[in-house]
Structure 1
């Protein structure tokens, strides 16, 4: 199984949509981490069995879905029933659901979050029993050293040693063989385990959550194979009429021919055209095997608001350096209020205990950035800075 590729997306504003998800999945990327100030989810962001981890200040959704449910398994067989005489193939196991982790300060609106296991695959039905074949009986064959052929016969009429009219019987028809027993179906696939949904926010969500990490259902068992009918009784071999004169065969015809002498012999001596037929064989037994599989284990869904100190532990020094950069970008774009809000959020995370090892340097850079903004909400100019120093 190929290793899943990982991708980290970092930006001030990040939008997750169906097109992006399809591109990432097509490239084999199944683990996606998003670090942003604002994250917007639009439409269906589907990463089968993957991991989507989001850290941000604000998260919003527009009729959106984040789906990391396990991918449904392909059919392991091409026909609903195996060939005659073959057991059914097993169904594929369902895939486990992935993981969704969201940590943010505010949830403006929440996408639907799905991390269910996929159902197990159905198994193939067992093949029906094989139909037996009945060997063909051999026709009568005259042997001049005997009265008839290998299956018996008799002399019907003779004159000394110069003339013989004889019948050589055909082989009795063989009895039909027993029909083949039906074969068992394959074992259905077990359902995949549910994944995990974990959402933590600093403030309660204004809208209710719709999240699911259910277990995948087991697959259905294919039907058991039926026993085949018994083989038909074989038709007896043809009886044959022979004439022998002076040790030379001068006449050899089957008893079902329209020859006048054959018709006379059949009537005169009560001869049948064929030896006795065989009996039909018994039918095979139907398979009574029915196999079951189990559902996967349910996953875990946890959505909660957290105290500031608990929430802060999710944001490390690397993330807070990005917070400074995002605030700086906003200020460069004259988005002063946004810059203030971003920088103040960074300071509040530090106040709550985020990145303790780098707290002093991070706080200094954020407060320095805030100092560049006038109380009225405008960036300070160089003149303002000189006036402030005097």
Structure 2
């Protein structure tokens, strides 16, 4: 099955799954239907990066049948939950160029003429919608396990362990991200970079690349050696992908990112890019940049000034260097997959995905 066909099937499965949940919610109350409709746009279309990586792990382990499509739906529902909650935490008004879930609920409040605090209603609706998506992700994963069993695939226990570990680490990483915005700043550049890399790794990188490919391989009954080998090759790609995301958060085009440029600055994100800017600028420029962080009213002119500080400090160049090093590390570790017998077709597609993710063309 080609990647495009697989993605089409995952899209159809997500739509069908949520349509079933729509009927389930509607049976409780038609007034609660927005809880599921808020998720439909987040799982509709897109590149399906995580399912695509899960499919590579599945195929590398010799998987057969439809279980990987169910797994793709589970990963998309988990992603939707993470995005909904992340937008609430970051107070982000848009996601992929559309209103975030909490903004949709605020609009519902306004258009329906509800009483009470509109913002609180929006936040509450989004949190509950995200909670449902998280629960449904587990349900979809159970379907994937059941389908694999039906098709005679002997899955590894590592699949379930990794799926649940992913929940724990992403939520913990999200908390660490919030903590970095309010705790005492790091005293040295190395400490600041280490903190930022820890947030990046656990909040996003591992569940973006490493865990999908590992769960896919384990669900197909892949050996621990194969799973660990793929994990080692995939994690650096996830970290490079997120470092690219940090750059786009300050220097990107809103038409591409779907979010206003400078939001990371307004939210006070302590990324590696910011760490280098703070510690490699002049004292005056560093203080100026520090005062901009976390200011929700940051103007476009101030965002431009922050960009100039980061560029002059060599922060952008340093992050680009890190992206290159991580990409080289992934390529080097791919050799272990060759020795484990992974097919040339799977490795070629992994190489293509790596290039797309690092360059952010996917």
Q: What's the TM-score bracket when you normalise by the shorter of the two chains?
A: under 0.3
Task: Give the greater-gyration-radius structure (CA).
Answer: 1
* Highest RCO, 1 vs 2 (Cα 8 Å, sep ≥ 6): 2
Higher helix share: 2
Q: TM-score, normalised by structure 2?
A: 0.19
Higher strand share: 1
